[in-house]
Structure 1
Amino acid sequence: MTDPSARDGFWPVGATRVVSLAEAVSFVLLLVASAIKYGADEPIGVRILGPTHGTLFIAYCLLVLYVSVLRQWKIGRTLLALGASVVPFAPFFVERHWLRPLDASTAGGPGASGATA
């Protein structure tokens, strides 16, 4: 059986890749804004980036759950991908290694998409 997300174009894997990258960037920017808030007493960055990151965080988690069902990920990989949302730069790893489109050589099954967890 082939990956259903491979024939659906951008949705949902491409959307998950974009949200994964945006969530990772917003997390790093929020950490910088937090340092500025407490170091320079300027809270505006946290006021803007806090809700933005929160929205991206929720979207990332929901999309990862959806893609994990589509690609039939093992529970370990799903939990690691969800856990990546709370570690700076970890969503970059998820996007790079687990959310790339499957090519013909790896479309043989759910465990054939690269690294296993």
Structure 2
Amino acid sequence: MLKAFRITAILEGISYLALFGVTMPLKYWAEIPEPNKWVGYAHGFLFIAFILLAIGVCYTKKWGFKRLAIFGIASLLPFATFYVEEKYLR
């Protein structure tokens, strides 16, 4: 489960950056909305998977609520899931 969480953390971070760094400018500046729709779907799925896996891993590893809160906050900040994967999941 930890390996799946690590992979999901990396993919969620990439999807976050792709959504706000690539597809949002395409949608609003170039008026090309289609990529934003699909990357948004992927990011939403990965965000939910990240949160569910964070809960599962914290439960199985008996990590406290503080670490779960760190994972939750990291899911909302750009680049933070990469930090979490490097610092807490290796």
TM-score category, normalised to shorter length: over 0.9
- Tell me how far apart the structure 2 counterparts of residues 76 and 41 of structure 1 sit (CA, whole Å): 42
- Structure 1 match to 2:23: 33
In structure 1, what residue type is equivalent to 2:83?
A: F
- Tell me how far apart the structure 2 counterparts of residues 57 and 97 of structure 1 sit (CA, whole Å): 19
Richer in helix (by share): 2
**Which structure has the larger Rg?**
1
Give the TM-score normalised by the residue count of structure 1: 0.73
- Structure 1 match to 2:11: 22
Gaps of 5+ in 2: none
Aligned pairs, how many?
89
In structure 1, what residue type is equivalent to 2:67?
A: R
Give runs of ≥4 in structure 1 deviating > 2 Å: none
Gaps of 5+ in 1: 1-11, 101-117
Per mean C-alpha deviation after superposition, the further-off stretch among 15-24 and 65-74 is 65-74
Give the TM-score normalised by the residue count of structure 2: 0.94
In structure 2, what residue type is equivalent to 1:26?
A: S
